[in-house]
């Protein structure tokens, strides 16, 4: 007796109503942050609800952060990025600068303080100690710049007084990706959170911090 085999390409498999709704949520989130216009939203929603396969859904979300994925799909760049032992849990810059870049382990709670100085945190090559991490950003007449991979879940809820706290990076990530929360306060300063493509992660994560006087 011969066996019936499914499509070799997972992208050709049929989508469910929940898959269509997940894609629609990504589109509405993108429109809310100004990534697509309302006309584009209407056009893409129509295509999303008419989609029959995962390949159809991919065409309406592939250029957006948090694009819808097939259930159970594994993201190579995110797999294995949760776990590890964190090192330092804070960066402080007073009349100076501090940078945390490259391969490092983000602790469950990380504090960044900039007083008339600047702090740069780059999470694109980082390992995440927990599925959800929180960055506490506080600045007084200074600046904090946080760069996150474009495929992680981001929630920015900080506030500012006579300064700025950028919320534009908030939005969903791919299924199974870490969640990064950014909270805090900016007074006469600014906190900038931006998404950029992930950098390849190779080898064992190491903690690297550069503090510049």
Question: pLDDT tens across 121-164, in order?
Answer: 999 989 999 889 999 999 999 999 999 988 888 999 889 999 99
In this predicted structure, what is the pLDDT of residue 140? 95
Question: pLDDT tens across 47-90, in order?
Answer: 989 988 878 888 888 888 755 444 334 344 455 678 888 888 99
Asked if the model's pLDDT at residue 114 lies above 90, the reply is yes
pTM of the model: 0.59
DSSP string for the chain: -PPP---SSGGGSBPPHHHHHHHHHHHHHHHHTTSS-HHHHHHHHHHHHH--BHHHHHHHHTTSTT----TT---TTTTT-B-------EEEEESSEEEE-SS-EEPSEEEEEEESSEEEEE-TT-EESSSEEEEEEEEESSEEEEEEETTSEEEE--EEESSEE--TT-B--STT--EEEEEEEEESSEEEEEEEPPPP--SS----EEEE-
Closest by alpha carbon to 21, among 57, 75, 73, 72? 57
Angle at 203 between CA 200 and CA 206, to 5 degrees: 100
Asked if the model's pLDDT at residue 15 lies above 80, the reply is no
């Amino acid at each position: 007796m011969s066996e019936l085999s499914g499509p070799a390409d997972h992208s050709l498999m049929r989508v469910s109503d929940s898959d269509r709704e997940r894609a629609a949520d990504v589109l509405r989130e993108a429109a809310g942050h100004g990534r697509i216009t309302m006309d584009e939203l209407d056009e893409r929603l129509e295509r999303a609800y008419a989609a029959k396969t995962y390949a159809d859904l991919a065409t309406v979300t592939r250029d957006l952060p948090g694009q819808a994925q097939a259930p159970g799909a594994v993201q190579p760049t995110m797999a294995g990025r949760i776990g590890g032992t964190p090192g330092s849990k804070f960066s402080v810059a007073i009349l100076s600068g501090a940078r945390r870049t490259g391969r490092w382990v983000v602790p469950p709670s990380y504090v960044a303080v900039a007083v008339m100085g600047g702090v740069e945190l780059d999470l694109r090559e980082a390992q995440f100690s927990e599925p959800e991490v929180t960055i506490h950003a506080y600045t007084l007449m200074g600046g904090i710049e946080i760069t996150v991979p474009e495929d992680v879940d981001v929630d920015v809820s900080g506030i500012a007084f006579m300064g700025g706290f950028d919320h534009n990076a908030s939005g969903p990530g791919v299924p199974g990706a870490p969640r990064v929360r950014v909270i805090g306060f900016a007074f006469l300063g600014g906190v900038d959170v931006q998404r950029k493509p992930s950098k390849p992660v190779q080898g064992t994560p190491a903690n690297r911090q550069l503090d510049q006087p």
